[in-house]
Amino acid sequence: MLMKFGIIGSGSWGTALAKIISDNGQQINWWIRSNDTIEQFIEKKHNPKYLPGATIKLENISFSSNLIQVINESDILIVAVPSAFVSDLFSSLPANILDGKKIVSAIKGILPNENLLFNDFLTQYFNLPLQNYFAILGPCHAEEVADEKLSYLTISGSHENDCIEIAKCFSTHYLKTIVNKDIYGAQYAAILKNIYALGAGIAHGLNYGDNFLSVLIANSADEMAGFLRKAGIINAEVGYIEHNKKLFEQQTHHNYAASVYLGDLLVTCYSLHSRNRMFGTMIGKGYSIKNAQLEMNMVAEGYNASNCMFVINKKINAEMIIAETIYKILWERLPAKEGFKIIEQSLM
């Protein structure tokens, strides 16, 4: 089934998703802010700034720097911009512009100015019904998609049939899709795993070894599941999977050992592609926040997320010693060595 997709964002993740969809023969309207970038893209036949090795079928793509035009001419909008930029990008749009549209969030964080998940932001400002919202989550590094290495995506949405149809558009020989209905749990897990990956990076920068790191990540997974349960995500059963007979998908229900929860946490904590781990490693080695940000020249979503989740958890009141300590290292200038002594004691 052909659908007209609009992609908002031209970073590595947006580029990877464009590759997947274009490989499936879907038509894409792609919003890129800079006309110079668009011209270079067309000339070089690849994104001049991100994933230069990714082959993208440009015959299926219409580029534009006009955001309203891209939205109006698309049925399904994939939003793949850093969470910190979402509010400014959408604030100038007409309130009714998303009427009848389906939104697929590829945002890997929480909106820091509002402390909101993207679906709650869209409901509040654009009256978007939850049934028209879908979240696309990992574990899936853009770099491996570019190399066509086997990867997995989870599409979360409350409307199962729509979720399945969207998932088909992302299914290729190198990418498998899974669907579930856990919109809130899956998004919060994606936010938390970035915080824990920062912690894994800090531990690496402080010269902790693999033995400690494995215990840190195991306890992070448990802490994450505890938050999700206390936040109201029910049926938290490890190892429970209900297999779906449909061709493309496997239906999963709040299984915290599944790929979108534990799998995404593991790859973000361990992989050298992980910008959150990279950022944390710099902090562990003594970089200031500002210098680490300048050195990376990319957004580490876990930095803002650590502050947002600290505020959110004041209401949830889950026990989150690891995430709270990472927040204090990043935002309250707690020395990394002192912070990890606290974490050490909590893991005993």
Q: Check: CB of residue 305 under 8 Å from CB of residue 110.
A: yes
| Structure confidence at residue 247 (pLDDT) | 36
- Which are the contacts of 274, defined by CB distance < 8 A and separation ≥ 6? 141, 197, 201, 267, 268
Look at residues 69, 67, 56 and name the one whose alpha carbon lies nearest to residue 24: 56
Query: Residue 44 in 3-state DSSP?
Result: helix
Average pLDDT over residues 253-265: 75
Q: Check: CB of residue 279 under 8 Å from CB of residue 303.
A: yes
The CATH number of domain 4-182, selected from 1.10.10.60, 3.40.50.720, 1.10.3720.10, 3.30.420.40: 3.40.50.720
Q: Check: CB of residue 194 under 8 Å from CB of residue 302.
A: yes
Alpha carbon separation from 286 to 63, 138, 240, 269 (Å, rounded):
42, 30, 42, 19
Average pLDDT over residues 197-212: 97
Residue 120, pLDDT above cutoff 50: yes
Q: Check: CB of residue 26 under 8 Å from CB of residue 97.
A: no
Provide the token pair at 73.
């001419």
| Structure confidence at residue 3 (pLDDT) | 78
Look at residues 17, 151, 154, 28 and name the one whose alpha carbon lies nearest to residue 81: 17
Query: Which pairing describes strands 133-137 and 151-157: parallel, antiparallel, or unpaired?
Result: antiparallel
108 pLDDT tier (thresholds 50, 70, 90): confident
HEC states along 312-331?
A: HHHHHCCCCHHHHHHHHHHH
Residue 171, pLDDT above cutoff 50: yes
Average pLDDT over residues 31-51: 91
CATH number of 185-347: 1.10.1040.10
Tell me the C-alpha distance between 308 and 227, whole Å.
Answer: 14
Q: How many residues does the chain have?
A: 348
| Structure confidence at residue 242 (pLDDT) | 52
Q: Quote the pTM value.
A: 0.91
Residue extents of the structural domains in the chain: 4-182, 185-347
CA angle 275, 42, 86 (to 5 degrees): 40
Residues of the chain with pLDDT > 90, as a percent, come to 71
256 pLDDT tier (thresholds 50, 70, 90): low
Q: Of 99-103, 123-127, 232-236, which range is least confident?
A: 232-236
234 pLDDT tier (thresholds 50, 70, 90): low
